[in-house]
Amino acid sequence: MKTNRKEFIKASALIGLGALTFGVKAQGNPIIEIPEVTDNIKPVNGKFELPPLGYSYNNLEPFIDAVTMEIHYSKHHQAYVNKLNEAIAKEPSLANKSLEDLLLNLSKMPSTARSAIKNHGGGHWNHSFFWKSLKTGTSMGPKFEKLCNASFGNIETFTSTFEKVSMGVFGSGWTWLILQNGQLKIKTSPNQENPLMDAAAVPEMMPKVILGIDLWEHAYYLKHQNRRAEYLSSFWKVVNWNEIEALLP
């Protein structure tokens, strides 16, 4: 595989974090996309940090309540960051690696740190992505609508399938919408796993995460108790369609 192809594939995965990309003409080859460095989740002075939430805890009311947001962000997410940092501190070979590098190559990580990267590194990435997926008052954009229709037939089939699949996730986990080989697909993962994990092993199948929903009870229990279906229908009211549109090619 040529280097440029590899770079493109890696870039395609990393721009799943939602930042701007820019085209680069490399050695006579077609334009390739390269993510800006700030797209990656990188440690600062050897430590990962809780990213800014970007809005206040009560911003998603009444669909997601302020107390849930505060605990979810300042306690749960912070704990994933702290535990990831503890594991990284014990492995000098992992210092200064981006979180995406760790996850994309999970099975190559030192055995002493691998499960911490999977659980807490996954938790850090998943929540960092999730906060950016939420916003009130946005509308579905044309790029998403076109791809969604092409991939699922229509929007209603997509939303009902996404909800049905999410209802079927046993215990704690996530449902994801990914872009893979030009098609939108729905995937689930248990615990804090995500589609990036070990994706570097099969570069031609590299997924780009477009949307994710946290199905852990800590994401909805205070307001919705055991009613996951109610949480799922509320979710569509706070999906950040602007972010989705920006992530799509």
Binding positions for Mn ion, rule: CB under 5 A: 214, 216
**Closer CB to Mn ion, 100 or 214, in the complex:** 214
Which of 155, 122, 183 lies closest to 241 in space, CA to CA?
155
Task: Name the minimum Å distance from CB 218 to Mn ion.
Answer: 5
User: How far is residue 98's CA from residue 191's CA, in Å, rounded to a whole number?
Assistant: 21
Q: Nearest distance from residue 80's CB to Mn ion, in Å?
A: 8
Shortest distance in whole angstroms from residue 210 CB to Mn ion: 19
Which candidate, 142, 129, 112, places its Cα nearest to that of 189? 129
Smallest separation (angstroms) from Mn ion to the CB of 216: 5
DSSP character string of 50-82: PPP-SS-GGGGTTTS-HHHHHHIIIIIIHHHHH
- Minimum CB distance to Mn ion smaller for 162 or for 216: 216
Residue nearest to Mn ion (CB): 214
Cβ closer to Mn ion: 174 or 241?
174
Cα angle value 30/32/33 (rounded, 5°): 160
- Span between the terminal Cα atoms of the chain, in Å: 23
Q: How far is the CB of 176 from Mn ion (least distance, A)?
A: 14
Provide the 10 A C-beta neighbour count for residue 112.
Answer: 10
Q: Which is nearer to Mn ion, 78 or 149 (CB)?
A: 78
Burial 213-234 (b: 16+ CB within 10 A, else e): bbbbeebbebbbeeebeebbeb
Q: Of 63 and 216, which CB lies nearer to Mn ion in the complex structure?
A: 216
